[in-house]
């Protein structure tokens, strides 16, 4: 058949076709060879993360830090630069450089570094799954290999969020009470209303304020993040613990079960009561929060580290109350503030993990903990932090609530489920194009699909749950 | 006679050999550049293909293809690329109308030409950020509509899943149309003036002149622009979508496109193998468009020479 086909061409054309074929095969072989070379070099760079900590190096070295946090804890850059200066003064052979990432760029930048197996020595992670996944992927080494257990035991949320099979992946840096509702008592009082203490009262406030064309809760879901916050503060109210969520992730229960689906209906209810600003879908999270400061909204939800600053800008404790989201359920976590810690991990490719770990410990010295609070007004993730220096009663209450807070649910679901179901469906429910039950059903569909496409997910989450 | 035939045969062989020698010589000259291109382009394509058949370092056959092809989100992304593809004729038409309008505009042509081309040279992120503000529910466009009594037309342009993709395409059209206008205008200006004068003497009006003379005369350019824009809509809209939807392709999945699907798979969902698989599909789609372009171009060039 092939011969008959070839006979239709001249000898030259046949020669040309054969040459082309040989060339293509040659190029393919060359590429395979190069591919093989690159994978063999990958293997040669693999290190054993459980090696014991070596002596502190004396040669000149540079550490790179890729981080995020100025966005929710203004003043963090100042603190970091000050801490680096103090540390390098003590260790003149160490140079530390840092790069502040954008919110959208934090995870992709790290993924790009992981793909190249080159990049920062110290990497910032949000807590829970965001710190677990890099460990599961083999891109970070457990900090517990370099920092003693008694030291790590002081780091708030280390075990709950960053623990995996007896190891601690990352070192919590600062606490994020997640997420407080900030209420402007002055606006409520001006409209003859009181601070709501349960869900029904909150809906009544929404009805009263929307009738006067006043936004009750200012938010922005265009960039999605706020959706994850809402899930955590509403969704946590009907579960017993984070284990319930992990059970739904691995398939033991469903996201359509009442304890996981109820919050979607509550979100829909809040939309019907016009609790949110009408342009919530076209605003980003931080754009919307500004309306609270400007007095154009009675409430907003902020990142815990930034809550004291927001309260201050809006008139302080006199005018603002910082509180947990009013309860809609009688679950054990309802009405309780969530807690998560933003963390720092040591990358697998770092040549100086022991120096990185030493810097992380330095960041937890008493002077640095106090300096963090002074610079940012938020709480460092260390139970040795002296709370007596917090003068604002509401800030103090916020910090105390975060020490023994409820698990922050968003950190216990796969990041893809967060994006594909939570972010997306919150946008649609708040736009009024999806109902609560539809959102729950879609979340379950997304989860089932994810169990197929992420072939290690069930094993990893099952191991995490133990 | 025999001698003559012999000479002719020798000459024939010579003639056959010369092109062969020429083509071999040409190949030799082209080879270094071709090898570099093949290495840069071929290596990445082959690596992409290999990655699409692997998971966690192991060969998994067509598993990744099965996952991607059954993913409803990928279907949505492809559907949106197809919808954007439908806007290409609109884009070409607008560019053509603007080009002939500018051609007929005697005064201030340079100013208008620059004004039309300006959006094309603006960085996409800048354009996307500005339009992101304009299209907010309480943004400049709705404020303007309300001020002229057209409240009913005001929409949540980027926040409503029903209109978000249309809004996105309007920005793409606004940005891309300048390129087409300049391409077509340059070609129209180079056309012989006598043809237009003859048409006018014969009483042809504005539309008749441009539909019957300009359009066929610049068909090559129109086709070229159409294919370039088709490729843009299939594989070059990432920047618009990423900036205007904050990397989500929202609201919901309303503006999800295949490039964003690939990006998210690779860098957010930590599934490089699925990103590679989706990229293979996108590469094939782009390749088809390029083949179509070269075929059309060859045909139209041949047609021009035949004429």
Task: Say whether the peptide bond before residue A179 is cis (omega within 30 degrees of 0).
Answer: yes
Residues A108, B267: C-beta atoms closer than 8 Å: yes
For A159, the token pair is 């075990």
Residue B90 lies in a domain: yes
Q: Say if residues A266 and A234 touch (Cβ distance below 8 Å).
A: yes
Residue B300 lies in a domain: yes
For A336, the token pair is 């309780």
| B268 reaches A (C-beta below 8 A) | yes
Residues A279, B274: C-beta atoms closer than 8 Å: no
Q: Which domain holds residue B22?
A: 2-52
B22 and B104 housed in the same domain: no
B48 and B108 housed in the same domain: no
Compute the nearest-CA separation of A15 from chain B (Å). Answer: 11
Per CB-CB distance under 8 Å, the chain B contacts of A133 are 270
| B49 reaches A (C-beta below 8 A) | no
Report pLDDT digits (tens) over B179-199.
999 999 999 999 999 999 999
The beta-carbon contacts of A116-119 under 8 Å, at least 24 apart in sequence, are: A117/A42, A117/A45, A117/A348, A117/A349, A118/A349, A119/A64, A119/A66, A119/A347, A119/A349
Q: At which residue do the structure tokens 């005018």 appear?
A: A319
- Measuring CA to CA, how many Å separate A417 from each of A377, A466, B258? 32, 21, 19
Residue B235 pLDDT > 50, yes or no? yes
Residue B292 lies in a domain: yes
Residues B268, A137: C-beta atoms closer than 8 Å: no
Last residue of a domain, one of B52, B71, B89: B52
Q: At which residue do the structure tokens 């603007």 appear?
A: B98
**Strand A406-407, strand A140-141: pairing:** unpaired
Which one, of A403, A251, A401, lies nearest residue A335 by Cα?
A401
Residue B243 lies in a domain: yes
B30 and B176 housed in the same domain: no
- pLDDT attached to residue B5: 54
ipTM of the complex: 0.85
B9 and B136 housed in the same domain: no
Residue B6 pLDDT > 60, yes or no? no
Residue B286 lies in a domain: yes
- pLDDT attached to residue A28: 39
Compute the nearest-CA separation of A49 from chain B (Å). Answer: 19
Q: How long a stretch of residues is chain B?
A: 307
Quote the pTM value: 0.84
| B259 reaches A (C-beta below 8 A) | no
Residue A194 contacts by C-beta under 8 Å, 6 or more apart in sequence?
A188, A201
B89 and B217 housed in the same domain: yes
Rounded mean pLDDT, B196-220: 93
Rounded mean pLDDT, B223-243: 92
B45 and B80 housed in the same domain: no
Residues of A in CB contact (< 8 Å) with B are: 12, 27-28, 30-32, 34-35, 39, 104, 107-108, 111-112, 115, 133, 137, 222-224, 278-284, 415-416, 419-420, 423-425, 427-428, 431, 433-434, 449, 452-456
For A83, the token pair is 């801490």
Alpha-carbon distance A290 to A182, whole Å? Answer: 12
- pLDDT attached to residue B267: 87
A67-100 b/e with 16+ CB inside 10 Å = b? Answer: bbbbbbbbbbbebbeebbeebeeebeebebebeb
In order, the DSSP letters of A114-148 are: HHHT-S-SEEEE-STHHHHHHHHTT-EE-GGGTS-
Alpha-carbon distance B250 to A280, whole Å? Answer: 13
Alpha-carbon distance A430 to B293, whole Å? Answer: 44
Per CB-CB distance under 8 Å, the chain B contacts of A281 are 137, 156, 158-160, 251
Report pLDDT digits (tens) over B131-148.
999 999 999 999 999 999
B190 and B153 housed in the same domain: yes
- Closest residue to B270, CB basis, from A30, A34, A111: A111
Edge-to-edge strands, sheet with A181-184 = A215-218, A297-301, A181-184, A320-323
In order, the DSSP letters of A88-102 are: HHH-TTEEEEEEEPP
Which one, of A34, A369, A12, A23, lies nearest residue B30 by Cα?
A23
Residue B101 lies in a domain: yes
Alpha-carbon distance A125 to A70, whole Å? Answer: 13
DSSP state of A389: G
Residue B7 lies in a domain: yes
Q: Say if residues A342 and A380 touch (Cβ distance below 8 Å).
A: no
- pLDDT attached to residue B304: 57
For B69, the token pair is 């092809």
**Strand A140-141, strand A122-125: pairing:** unpaired
Chain B residue nearest residue A448, CA to CA: B71
Residue A153 contacts by C-beta under 8 Å, 6 or more apart in sequence?
A159
Residue A465 contacts by C-beta under 8 Å, 6 or more apart in sequence?
A243, A246, A247, A250
B104 and B174 housed in the same domain: yes
- Pick from B50, B163, B246, B275 the residue to mutate for testing the A interface (most A CBs within 10 Å): B246
Residue B157 pLDDT > 80, yes or no? yes
B195 and B292 housed in the same domain: yes
- Write out residues in chain A with pLDDT < 50, as ranges: 1-53
Per CB-CB distance under 8 Å, the chain B contacts of A429 are none
Report pLDDT digits (tens) over A34-78.
333 333 333 333 334 444 445 789 999 999 999 999 999 999 999
Q: What are the phi and psi torsion angles at B173 (to 5°)?
A: -60, -45
- pLDDT attached to residue A8: 37
List of E strands, A233-385: 297-301, 320-323, 338-347
Compute the nearest-CA separation of A45 from chain B (Å). Answer: 16
For A286, the token pair is 């931080």
Alpha-carbon distance A407 to B162, whole Å? Answer: 36
Residue B284: how many CB atoms within 10 A of its CB? 10
A393-402 b/e with 16+ CB inside 10 Å = b? Answer: ebbbbbbebb
Domains annotated for chain A, with CATH where assigned, are: 61-177+340-403 (3.40.190.10), 181-336+414-465 (3.40.190.10)
For B171, the token pair is 């920005």
- Closest residue to A31, CB basis, from B47, B73, B266: B47
Alpha-carbon distance A402 to A409, whole Å? Answer: 14
Report pLDDT digits (tens) over B242-300.
999 999 999 999 999 999 999 999 988 889 999 999 999 999 988 988 888 788 777 76
| Chain B 5-24, residues with CB within 8 Å of chain A CB atoms | 20
DSSP state of A254: -
- pLDDT attached to residue A119: 97
| B239 reaches A (C-beta below 8 A) | no
Domain containing residue B254: CATH number: 1.10.3720.10
- pLDDT attached to residue B297: 73
- The count of structural domains within chain B is 2
Classify A340 as helix, strand or coil: strand
B32 and B136 housed in the same domain: no
B271 and B226 housed in the same domain: yes
Window from A388-392, B15-19, B219-223 with minimum mean pLDDT? B15-19
Per CB-CB distance under 8 Å, the chain A contacts of B67 are 452-453
- Pick from B13, B47, B162, B248 the residue to mutate for testing the A interface (most A CBs within 10 Å): B248
Residue B57 lies in a domain: no
B19 and B40 housed in the same domain: yes
């Amino acid at each position: 058949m092939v011969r008959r086909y070839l006979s239709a061409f001249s000898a030259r054309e046949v020669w040309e076709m054969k040459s082309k074929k040989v060339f293509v095969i040659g190029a393919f072989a060359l590429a395979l060879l190069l591919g093989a070379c690159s994978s063999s070099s990958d293997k040669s760079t693999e290190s054993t993360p459980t090696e014991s900590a070596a002596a502190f190096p004396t040669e000149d070295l540079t550490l790179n830090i890729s981080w995020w946090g100025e966005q929710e804890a203004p003043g963090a850059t100042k603190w970091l630069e000050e801490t680096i200066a103090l540390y390098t003064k003590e260790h003149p052979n160490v140079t530390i450089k840092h790069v502040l990432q954008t919110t959208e760029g934090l995870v992709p930048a790290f993924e790009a570094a992981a793909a190249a197996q080159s990049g920062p020595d110290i990497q910032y992670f949000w807590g829970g799954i965001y710190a677990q996944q890099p460990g599961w992927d083999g891109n970070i080494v457990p900090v517990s290999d370099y920092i003693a257990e008694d030291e790590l035991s002081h780091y708030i949320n280390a075990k709950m969020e960053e623990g995996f099979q007896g190891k601690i992946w990352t070192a919590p840096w600062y606490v994020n009470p997640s997420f407080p509702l900030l209420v402007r008592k002055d606006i409520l009082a001006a409209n003859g209303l009181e601070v709501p203490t349960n869900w029904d009262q909150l809906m009544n406030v929404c009805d009263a304020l929307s009738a006067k064309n006043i936004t009750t809760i200012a938010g922005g879901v265009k960039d999605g993040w706020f959706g994850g916050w809402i899930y955590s503060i509403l969704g946590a109210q009907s579960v017993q613990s984070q284990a319930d969520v992990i059970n739904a992730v691995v398939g033991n229960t469903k996201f359509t079960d009442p304890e996981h689906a109820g919050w979607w209906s509550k979100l829909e209810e809040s939309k019907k009561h016009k609790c949110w600003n009408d342009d919530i879908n076209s605003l980003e999270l931080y754009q919307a929060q500004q309306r609270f400061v400007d007095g154009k909204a009675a409430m907003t939800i902020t990142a815990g580290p930034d809550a004291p600053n927001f309260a201050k800008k809006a008139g302080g404790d006199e005018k603002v109350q910082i509180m947990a989201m009013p309860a809609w359920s009688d679950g054990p976590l309802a009405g309780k503030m969530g807690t998560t810690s933003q963390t720092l991990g040591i990358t697998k490719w770092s040549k100086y993990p022991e120096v990185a770990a030493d810097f992380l410990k330095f960041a937890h010295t008493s002077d640095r903990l106090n300096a963090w609070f002074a610079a940012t007004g938020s709480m460092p993730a260390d139970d040795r932090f002296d709370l007596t220096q917090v003068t604002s009663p509401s800030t103090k209450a916020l910090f105390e609530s975060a020490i023994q807070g409820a698990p922050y649910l968003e950190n216990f679901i796969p990041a893809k489920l967060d994006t594909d179901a939570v972010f997306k469906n919150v946008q649609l429910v708040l736009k009024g194009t999806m109902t609560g039950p539809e959102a729950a059903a879609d979340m379950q569909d997304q989860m089932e699909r994810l169990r197929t496409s992420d072939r290690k997910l069930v094993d990893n989450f099952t191991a995490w749950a133990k | 006679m025999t001698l003559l035939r012999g000479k002719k045969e020798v000459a024939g062989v010579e003639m056959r050999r010369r092109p062969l020698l020429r083509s071999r010589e040409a190949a030799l000259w082209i080879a270094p550049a071709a090898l570099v291109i093949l290495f840069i382009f071929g290596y990445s394509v082959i690596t992409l293909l290999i990655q699409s058949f692997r998971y966690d370092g192991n060969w998994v056959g067509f598993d990744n293809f099965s996952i991607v092809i059954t993913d409803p989100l990928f279907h949505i992304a492809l559907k949106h690329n197809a919808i954007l593809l439908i806007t290409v004729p609109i884009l070409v038409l607008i560019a053509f109308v603007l080009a002939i309008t500018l051609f007929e505009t005697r005064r201030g042509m340079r100013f208008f030409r620059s004004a039309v081309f300006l959006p094309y040279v603006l960085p996409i992120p800048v354009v996307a950020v500005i339009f992101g503000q304009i299209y907010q529910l309480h943004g400049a466009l709705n404020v303007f509509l309300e001020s002229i009594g057209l409240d009913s037309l005001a929409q949540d342009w980027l926040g409503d899943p029903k209109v978000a993709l249309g809004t996105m395409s309007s920005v793409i059209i606004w940005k891309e149309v300048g390129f087409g206008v300049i391409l077509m205008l340059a070609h129209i200006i180079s056309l012989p003036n006598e043809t237009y004068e003859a048409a006018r003497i014969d009483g042809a009006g504005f539309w008749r002149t441009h539909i019957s003379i300009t359009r066929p005369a610049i068909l090559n350019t129109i086709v070229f622009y159409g294919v370039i824009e088709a490729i843009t809509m299939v594989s070059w809209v990432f920047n618009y979508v990423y900036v205007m939807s904050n990397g989500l392709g929202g609201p919901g999945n309303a503006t999800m496109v295949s490039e964003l699907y690939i990006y998210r798979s690779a860098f957010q969902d930590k599934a490089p193998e699925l990103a590679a698989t989706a990229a293979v599909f996108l590469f094939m789609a782009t390749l088809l468009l390029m083949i179509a372009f070269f075929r059309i171009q060859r045909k139209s060039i041949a047609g021009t020479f035949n004429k």
